[in-house]
Structure 1
Amino acid sequence: MAIHHGDRLVYLVTGASRGIGLEYVKQLLERGHHVIAAARNPEKSGGLTTLAEQHGSQLTLVTMDVAVPASIQAAATSISEAFPEGIDVLINNAGISGTIVKSSEQDGDEFKDILMINSLGPFLVIKAFLTLIRKGSKKQIVNISSGLGSIATAAHYLNGGPSKLGPLKGADSPMAKRQLGYRASKAALNMTTVALAVDLQEEGITIIAMCPGWVDTDMGSGAAGMLGVAKPPLTAPTSVAMQLKVVDGLNLEKSGTYFNHEGNVVPF
């Protein structure tokens, strides 16, 4: 059955069961938009089920595992039937961090899994939903990346130079030699963003990469102890509120840009 959303914008958020994704769902619902929340097991997310009880038909829960192409396609099929008028904004958020080990000790199988979920998965989501995005009024895609995916920033480590990533202060930082899989996956996502921005620009589709900052979530807090801090500096509500200000200001001229949550341009 088709869902008629009237004047509401329709947002699709992946990785919506917790953390940044769940916070996106909360704040978009508070704004009055219709939100499609996609997750591997949405019915097991207490946060999503509570929001569904509070917002009723304004929220649509969809099962989607970005590591499984067939799951992505099945979700696209069901959403196409429910939202034939299209999707306005895709928040491509699903991702994993992997084990925090030295780069030379990165497990190959885990590396492959990280690339699948953080790099190939988001591309397959875009590809599966592109027809719906073309129909939308906003035609926007936000790929949630990371400052750790910036090759330009990482290059400073070679010369012992400073980084702009808070506690990641240079070559002597505990993180300088770690998280190869995560970093490479986000760098690949950034390239995907730029390549698709060039390809889709003539169709009026805006696509950006977004660094949410270091956020106090289950995934983001993993490195806190290693860096000698109690917890990451940003809460999910603060980060997402700032990200949404950036998203609100998007236009086609900004397509292909790598932003942080403050709206500053991050070097690729």
Structure 2
Amino acid sequence: MLITGASRGLGLALARHYAGAGWRVIACTRADTPPPDENGLEWRRLDVASPASIAELAAGLAGTPLDLVINNAGIRGDVDGLATLDADDFIEVMRVNALAPLLVARALLPNLRAGGGQIIANISSRAGSIAEGMIGDDDGDYAYRCSKAALNMATAKLALDLKPDCITVLALHPGWVRTDMGGIEAEIPVSDSAAALQGLIDRATLADSGSFQAFDGRPIAW
């Protein structure tokens, strides 16, 4: 399996959970110098904001079957609302959170077709739900919300397009997780979220493709 944004937080926790379960994990990080080696983790450099970096990763993995790709890398951007909305910041958040997962999925499609389980899991957020995204949550987050809404549509479209390949595509909300992005007041320890997400992914079938679920298995309205 391969996971983006694996150098810390939820990405690293997911990588460790899968490695602990016996998976070979290709853990991608933007850093030029990878973190220290860990059992089961194979580090690769990837800057998801760079199409050239994505293409380079795919070229280096040519012929390597992948059962699972987790698009986890993401950024939050400006959080102060309309008054501080900045065009460059907005575009960068969209590039990382919405466009990059599509480019990664396309680049690694030959690897997934050669794999067994064949799942793409996009780490989304309830903040991107039109129906539920602002329930109890009035943070500014224009760029983040819009990027996750776009990722949800990308998930639905990928699910439709990749169904003939028997590739399952999921949008998953990890909860309010205690990471650098989520903050120290967040409700869910990162290890708990990672374990729950792994369970969802491991149980997923083609019938679940195109769904939007929370870490606890609850369906989220689009």
Shorter-normalised TM range: over 0.9
- Name the counterpart of 1:184: 146
- Name the counterpart of 1:132: 111
- Name the counterpart of 2:23: 33
Deviations 1:172-224 (A, max 9, x none): x542xx10100000000000000010111111010010000000100111xxx
- Name the counterpart of 1:213: 175
Deviations 1:32-57 (A, max 9, x none): 11000011116353xxx1xx2x41xx
Structure 1 CA distance for aligned equivalents of residues 73 and 217 of structure 2: 21
* TM-score with structure 1 setting the length: 0.80
Q: Note if contact 2:29-2:46 (Cα within 8 Å) is conserved in structure 1.
A: yes
Shift in Å at residue 105 of structure 1?
2.8
Say which is worse superposed, 145-154 or 178-187, in terms of deviation: 145-154
State how 1:75-114 maps to structure 2 within 5 Å: 75-80=57-62, 84-114=63-93
Deviations 1:80-134 (A, max 9, x none): 2xxx241000010000011211134311110000000000011100010011011
Amino acid at match of 1:30: G
- Name the counterpart of 1:66: 48
- Name the counterpart of 1:266: 220
* Residue 122 in structure 1 maps to residue 109 in structure 2: no
User: Over alpha carbons, which structure has the higher Rg?
Assistant: 1
Amino acid at match of 1:70: A
Structure 1 CA distance for aligned equivalents of residues 161 and 151 of structure 2: 15
Structure 2 CA distance for aligned equivalents of residues 259 and 205 of structure 1: 17
Deviating beyond 6 angstroms after TM superposition, the runs of 4 or more aligned structure 1 residues are none
Structure 2 counterpart of 1:232, from 186, 190, 196: 186
Shift in Å at residue 59 of structure 1?
2.3
* TM-score with structure 2 setting the length: 0.96
Q: Note if contact 2:34-2:45 (Cα within 8 Å) is conserved in structure 1.
A: no
Structure 2 CA distance for aligned equivalents of residues 137 and 185 of structure 1: 30
- SS of the residue corresponding to residue 131 of structure 2 reads helix
Structure 1 residues 89 and 103, CA gap change in structure 2 (3 angstroms): same
Q: Note if contact 2:168-2:210 (Cα within 8 Å) is conserved in structure 1.
A: yes
> Per residue, is there more helix in 1 or in 2?
1
Q: Note if contact 2:34-2:44 (Cα within 8 Å) is conserved in structure 1.
A: no
Structure 2 CA distance for aligned equivalents of residues 30 and 153 of structure 1: 34
- SS of the residue corresponding to residue 108 of structure 2 reads helix
Pairwise CA RMSD: 1.3
Q: Taking CA–CA contacts closer than 8 Å with sequence separation of 6 or more, which of the two structures ends up with the larger relative contact order?
A: 2
Structure 2 CA distance for aligned equivalents of residues 42 and 263 of structure 1: 36
* Residue 203 in structure 1 maps to residue 190 in structure 2: no
Amino acid at match of 1:184: C
Shift in Å at residue 267 of structure 1?
0.6
Shift in Å at residue 249 of structure 1?
1.0
Structure 2 CA distance for aligned equivalents of residues 13 and 146 of structure 1: 17
